[in-house]
Structure 1
Amino acid sequence: MTTTTIERHSDRDALCAAVAERLLEVLSGAVQDRGVAHAVLTGGGAGIGTLQEVARLIDAGEAETPDWSRVHFWWGDERLLAGGEPERNDEQADAALLRTLVSDHGLPAENVHRMPDTDLAVSPVQGAEAYSADLAAASDEDESDSERAALRIPRFDVLLLGVGPDGHVASLFPGSETLAVTEVCCVGESESPKPPPGRITLTFDAIGTAERVWMVVAGSDKADAVARAHADGADVEDVPAVGAAGREETVWHVDEAAAERLPDS
């Protein structure tokens, strides 16, 4: 496991700008090096703000962009709602960036790997099974990495996560049985403390195979969770965010409001 680092930004706009620029660099590098890139997206204010900033950078021609036909987008979690519902992470991402990439920049619609909606899954468990099959279809049959091969998932070049005021990441909530699920890449959550109760989420096993895990956290309402996640002895049962780590790097991108309760703030 890599060392966890904290990168502070003056405010949410600065955070989103920095993460967006770095995201484009990672995707471009992956396409150049391996011919394909896989990114896992998140919702929330900072997650969607990052995608909006990516769109702005593309429109302004201010950053190198990848060959979008070789980029795949996934999600760390999703609300089990009808397709097109504005509370779904994929709908927000569509509005912020993905529709433009598909219509104007050559991103194949099939490279946007949405978690099932209620038309495709009647339960979170069924939705998790369906998304596991989607991930398996995109995995490399010759994958030499034993963890990825066992989970049957592609290599995630970067995985973005928001952090809730209670310390949750994806739809892995404090005290939930899903925290302890292993040896599968997706799990259904039927009793989310945040509405709606039905969710689909990646597991910690899947998150931990990502090359880079970036937490994107903004706002003073997240300050307590950020502080608790970086306290000595932090427990994943109480603060699930501490269980999320990447192989190459784990970075907490926080604005000053979210960082205000860290010891050296």
Structure 2
Amino acid sequence: MSAETRPQPRLVPHDGADSLARDTARRVLEVLESAQDERGEATLLLTGGSMGTRVVEELANHGDAPVVDWSRVNVWWSDERFLPGADPERNGVQAADVWDDTLELTWDRVHPVAGSDEIDTVDAAAEDYREELAAAAEQEGSVTGLPRFDVALLSLGPDTHVASLFPGRQDVLRTDASVFAVTDSPKPPPARVTMSLEAVNSADRVWLLVSGAAKAEALAAIRRPAVTPVEAPGSAARGTRETLWLVTEDALPGVPEDPDRHRG
């Protein structure tokens, strides 16, 4: 499905970070419940960053969390820092810390990226994650090499990056691998594992989290007419069924108001 045939992003403002985290958690719960009603399981693609972690915390503590059978939820990460497995800077560790034991996940369904103390190189970690994805896809009967992602959460960086796909780099356009290594990230640490934009965009729903005045320029950049994925990777994040930009109002100055902003 080309970007032109996908639904256009819809901007949904919130009055602050707390409201954004709560609303996103509520939306995630609705999607997971619906997916389980449809096919018995659900799959969530998580992101890092402070807002991504806050959403996970809200999921764990939300009053409606029990509507989801968490033992049948599959969890993946769109990117990860290549650090030791228990390093607190890793996205998976931050999520686990706020998830704790509140939600009864089946740990065989939770898929962290291998850490630097578990596998020799970042390239090997990327290959290992590709193989995990392919195995899950085969089990589902998918021929794409990817399992079905019901919803992918992404955080927009102040430079417009998403996952570990940074502006000004041609690897934003890579289609030869669903997961690959980044060895020279402009943000520390330099070694990371990331899903390709194509892999992220295979999700039914892609929701971009944008919180804080520091993200206002990035949000304006991804909304510029004719902006390219290389110029602003976040501009090209698109779900097959839905794309939401879930933003705080302090990130909105200078951004044209979306005509559908009051619908969501």
Instruction: Return the TM-score normalized by structure 1.
Output: 0.91
What code does the residue aligned with 1:29 have? S
Q: How many Å apart are 1:65 and its aligned residue?
A: 2.4
* 1:121 Cα deviation from its structure 2 partner: 2.8
Aligned to 2:135: 137
Describe the superposition over 1:155-182 as per-residue Cα deviations: whole angstroms up to 9, x where unpaired.
0000000011000000000122321210
Q: Which deviates more, 134-143 or 158-167? A: 134-143
Q: Which residue of 1 aligns with 2:205?
A: 212
Task: Using the TM superposition, give the Cα deviation of residue 69 of structure 1 relative to its aligned residue in structure 2, in angstroms.
Answer: 1.3
Give the C-alpha shift of residue 80 in structure 1.
0.2
**Runs of 4 or more consecutive aligned structure 1 residues displaced over 4 Å after TM superposition:** none
2:45 aligned residue: 40
For 2:205 and 2:22, locate their aligned partners in 1 and report how far apart those are by CA, in whole Å. 18
Structure 2 counterpart of 1:73, one-letter code: V
The answer for the alignment partner of 1:198 in structure 2 is 191
Conserved in 1, the CA contact under 8 Å of 2:181 and 2:194? yes
Instruction: Report the Cα distance in structure 1 between the residues aligned to 2:9 and 2:147, rounded to whole angstroms.
Output: 23
Task: Please say which of residues 122-131 and 244-253 is displaced more in the overlay.
Answer: 122-131
Deviation per residue, 1:224-264 (Å, 9 max, x gap) = 00001011111111111012100000100000112223123
* CA displacement 1:182-233 (0-9 Å, x = unmatched): 0321011001000000000000110111000000110111110000101111
TM-score (structure 2 length as normaliser):
0.91
2:79 aligned with 1:86, yes or no? no
SS in 2 for 1:139: helix
Unaligned runs of 5+ in 1: none
Among 213, 216, 222, the alignment partner of 1:229 is 222
SS at 2:243 equivalent: strand
How many angstroms apart in 1 are the aligned matches of 2:252 and 2:75? 29
Describe how 1:118-137 pairs up with structure 2 within 5 A. Answer: 118-137=116-135
- Residues of 1 paired with 2:121 and 2:167: CA distance? 21
Which residue identity does 2:21 align to in structure 1?
A: C
Counterparts of 1:142 and 1:74 in 2: how far apart (Å)?
A: 15
- Give 1:137 shift: 1.3
1: CA distance between counterparts of 2:61 and 2:68? 15
CA distance in 1, matches of 2:95, 2:140: 31
Aligned-partner SS, 2:143:
helix
- Three-state SS of the structure 2 residue aligned to 1:54 is helix
TM alignment of 1:139-218, pairs within 5 A: 139-140=137-138, 143=141, 149-150=143-144, 152-218=145-211
- Cα distance in 2 between the residues matched to 1:87 and 1:74: 17
SS in 2 for 1:149: coil
Q: CA deviation at 1:63?
A: 5.0
Corresponding residue for 1:242?
A: 235
Unaligned runs of 5+ in 2: 1-5, 259-264
Structure 2 CA distance, aligned partners of 1:139 and 1:216? 27
Counterparts of 1:62 and 1:259, CA distance in 2: 30
Residue identity (%) = 39
The aligned counterpart of 2:261 is none
Q: Matched residue of 2:149: which SS?
A: coil
2: distance between equivalents of 1:201 and 1:162?
Answer: 14
Point out the more displaced range, 132-141 or 251-260.
Answer: 132-141
